[in-house]
Each structure stands twice: as C-alpha cells, then as structure tokens.
C-alpha cells in the first residue's frame, strides 16, 4: 500500500504542477468567480494526496475553502448564465457542491477523532469512513466537472 500511496502522491504532484502552468496562462478571467476556481483546483490535488496517505488533520481547512466557494457561487454567477433555467441549474450545482463539502467535513471530523483516540477501534468502522470520505471527494470533483461542462465550454482567458 505504501508504494501505491507514493505513486499516487507523485502523480498528483505532477498534475498539480501541470495544472499550475495551465492556470497561470488562464488566470485573467473577467468574471468574479475565477479566483475562487483557482483555490479549488489547487486544493483538489493536495486533498487527493492527503486522502491517499491518510493525512486527515489538514483536510478540513482545505475542504472549507471549497465549501465557502460553494456558498459564494450563487452570488457570483459567470456571464454564461443567461436564462432563469440556467440560473436554477447553476445554483443547483452550487448547492450540490455545498452539500458534498459539508458531508466530507462531517466524515473527516469522525476520522480525525478516531485517529486521536485509537482505543476500541472496532466500535467505529473506520474503513467505511475512509470510503465515504473518498466518495465525497469524488462527488466534489464531479460537481465541478458537471458545472464546467455546462457553463465553461471554452478556455477561460
């Protein structure tokens, strides 16, 4: 398992570097949500490394950044949201992201508490919680991809 964790961490690090180069080229967006997106995308790679290596203690702050982004999204819609139906869809994606991050924060709290008090580990099915945390992370990323597929079908410049 340690070999896999090192491999996943290396892949995530390379992806983070590659993304950083691409993000630097596209960071001059006209709408107000672009800066929020940069924080999210940079956090996603770091979150993946922390999940794979079971380093949960720093994750709540990173997830909180994305959670706050979800809360702020309906207030800063991109200019590609033009109709009422699109507005409702955009807000729905924001609520999904907010819900997924809230769920992940709850699970991380249980994982962190378990790691601090390793007594009677059989009373808490910790492997299940790790799966739930990974699932919520996947849902967070999926929410971002679905929204971008709908509202960002072009390169942001």
Residue 58 is classified by DSSP as: T
pLDDT at position 33 is 55
- Is the pLDDT assigned to residue 42 strictly greater than 80? no
Pair 36, 76: CB distance under 8 Å:
yes
pLDDT at position 129 is 84
pLDDT at position 71 is 94
pLDDT at position 60 is 95
Q: What is the sign of the dihedral through the CA atoms of 143, 144, 145 and 148?
A: positive
Residue 157 lies in a domain: no
- Is the pLDDT assigned to residue 9 strictly greater than 60? no
- Is the pLDDT assigned to residue 66 strictly greater than 70? yes
- What is the count of structural domains for the chain? 1
Separation CA 40–CA 85 (nearest Å): 25
Prediction pTM value: 0.70
* Cα separation values, 89 from 27, 70, 74, 83, 147, Å: 25, 14, 10, 10, 9
* Cα separation values, 28 from 22, 81, 98, Å: 12, 19, 26
**CA atoms within 13 A of residue 4's CA, in its CB half-sphere:** 6
Residue 106 lies in a domain: yes
Pair 59, 129: CB distance under 8 Å:
no
Residue 74 lies in a domain: yes
Percentage above 70 pLDDT, the chain: 64
Higher pLDDT, 49 or 29: 49
Higher pLDDT, 120 or 62: 62
Separation CA 49–CA 67 (nearest Å): 19
CATH of the domain at 8: 1.20.120
Percentage above 90 pLDDT, the chain: 32
Residue 156 lies in a domain: no
- Is the pLDDT assigned to residue 151 strictly greater than 90? no
Domain of residue 87, residue span: 2-151
- 81-129: pLDDT as tens digits: 999 999 999 999 999 999 999 999 999 998 888 777 766 655 556 678 8
Pair 76, 33: CB distance under 8 Å:
yes
Higher pLDDT, 78 or 9: 78
């Amino acid at each position: 398992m340690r070999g896999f964790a090192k491999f996943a961490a290396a892949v995530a690090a390379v992806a983070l570097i590659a993304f950083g180069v691409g993000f630097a080229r596209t960071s001059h967006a006209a709408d107000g949500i672009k800066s929020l997106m940069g924080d999210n995308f940079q956090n996603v790679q770091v979150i993946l490394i922390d999940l794979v290596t079971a380093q949960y203690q720093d994750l709540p702050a990173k997830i909180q950044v994305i959670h706050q982004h979800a809360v702020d999204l309906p207030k800063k819609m991109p200019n590609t949201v033009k109709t009422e139906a699109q507005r409702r869809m955009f807000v729905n994606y924001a609520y999904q992201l907010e819900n997924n991050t809230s769920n992940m924060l709850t699970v991380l709290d249980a994982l962190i508490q378990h790691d601090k008090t390793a007594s009677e580990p059989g009373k808490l099915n910790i492997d299940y919680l790790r799966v739930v945390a990974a699932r919520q992370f996947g849902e967070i990323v999926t929410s971002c991809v679905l929204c971008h597929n709908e509202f960002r079908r072009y390169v942001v410049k």
